[in-house]
Structure 1
Amino acid sequence: MMEPKRRSPRHGGPTFALRHRLFRCLWGLVWNGLGAWTPTPFFLWRRALVRLFGGKITASARIYPGVQIWYPPHLEMAEYSCLARGVNCYCMAPIRLEPYALASQGAHLCAGTHDVDDPHFTLHARPIVIAAHAWVAAEAFVGPGVTLAAGAVLGARAVAFRDLESWTIYVGNPARRSRARRRPLRKQAGLKP
């Protein structure tokens, strides 16, 4: 699948090439017309649409209705990972959900930002990783370049602009460490010994 080619908007031009913008336009029409509104049990159908447009989605991953995906080739979902209803997956750079990773209702995964000190607001896109058993709770925000390590939790409406440590719970804006998270038994969690 084609990678986005960014242009320098220094001379008033667009950030992305016309071909990339047309691809995203077609994707938006297909997703909003045939995928985003479908009934909850249609996981297979939504996975198929995202795969058709270049997403790397395993057969057990779940994409719920109302999810918005900016650029499918940048989305990777491993076994039993989940994008819940209303997640905004702004994948200007790659976003990867590892096994059993979860982004809850209304969460915002934002892999792009702009340089506010540049008069042309140059785009900066950096990948996001939601590691195995990590959880982005309802309406939380994950910024560009952030990794939630294995088992990390970003609480409801919290905002993360820095990496989160494994098996730790973070809350607030900006996200701060609240406490350690109890680790499940390895066998129950599907973890390797």
Structure 2
Amino acid sequence: MTDVELRQNLAGYQLSPHWHPGAPRWRQALWLLLGQPLLGSFLPGTLWRKALLRAFGARLGRGGRLKPHLRVKFPWRLEVGDHCWLGEEVWIDNLAPVSLGDRVCLSQSAYLCTGNHDFRSPGFDLRTLPIRIDDDAWIAARAVLAPGTHVGSGAVVALGAVVKGVVAPSTLVAGNPAQSVGRR
């Protein structure tokens, strides 16, 4: 095979028959046309954002803060514990489930990515894996979590860090790729 044959063939891309958005088309359309624009608006307020997400199937705990410009791909694949803070411009790109424990903080512009494409496959196959963030963890501003990431209880993902895999409880990770730089 030549180098060109090994690259992705976007003209022939087909969504995997094994993946489904997890909701009927009418709910997806309503979310896309109404829910997502409202959630991501500049208007302040946590209570109405929580009500909107719940109306579309998100499971949200008590208390917490949801800031303006929040983006959630599929609310029906989101579980948020008690007293969590989701900062401005947080993007939860949840093609697979995302689960946040209690008292989790996602700071400004954090990006949680549960799906990616296989660059080795000419079919550019979609790969999805869930993300789990345990109690009392803090994902700092502009940090990126890759598909399949699990952040342990009390861990801190530093400003701009890029994480793939497991972050041990109470560990501070930083950099790209993220590496342990201390303990909380």
Task: Give the Å deviation of 1:20.
Answer: 5.0
- Match in the other structure for 2:93: 90
Higher relative contact order at CA 8 Å, sep ≥6: structure 1 or structure 2? 2
Q: Quote the Cα distance in structure 2 between the aligned partners of 1:17 and 1:57.
A: 23
- Match in the other structure for 1:146: 149
* Structure 1 unaligned residues grouped into runs of 5+: 1-8, 182-193
- CA 1:95–1:17: 2 relative to 1, 3 Å: closer
Q: Is the 8 A contact 1:75 1:94 kept in 2?
A: yes
Q: Which amino acid aligns with 2:103?
A: Y
- Match in the other structure for 2:27: 23
- CA 1:92–1:33: 2 relative to 1, 3 Å: closer
Task: Give the Å deviation of 1:34.
Answer: 2.7
TM-score by length of 1: 0.81
The structure 2 residue matched to 1:171, chosen from 161, 171, 174, is 174
Q: Is the 8 A contact 1:138 1:157 kept in 2?
A: yes
* Structure 2 unaligned residues grouped into runs of 5+: 1-9
Corresponding residue SS for 2:166 = coil
Q: Is the 8 A contact 2:111 2:143 kept in 1?
A: yes
Corresponding residue SS for 1:121 = coil
Q: Quote the Cα distance in structure 2 between the aligned partners of 1:69 and 1:107.
A: 12
Deviations 1:85-107 (A, max 9, x none): 10010011110110001110000
Corresponding residue SS for 1:113 = strand
Deviations 1:68-92 (A, max 9, x none): 1001111000101121110010011
Corresponding residue SS for 1:89 = strand
- Match in the other structure for 1:191: none
The structure 2 residue matched to 1:67, chosen from 60, 65, 70, is 70
- CA 1:14–1:20: 2 relative to 1, 3 Å: farther
Most deviating of 114-123 and 97-106:
114-123
- CA 1:61–1:24: 2 relative to 1, 3 Å: farther
Task: Give the Å deviation of 1:109.
Answer: 0.4
The answer to whether residue 88 in structure 2 is matched with residue 79 in structure 1 is no
Task: Give the Å deviation of 1:171.
Answer: 0.4
CA RMSD of aligned residues (A): 2.2
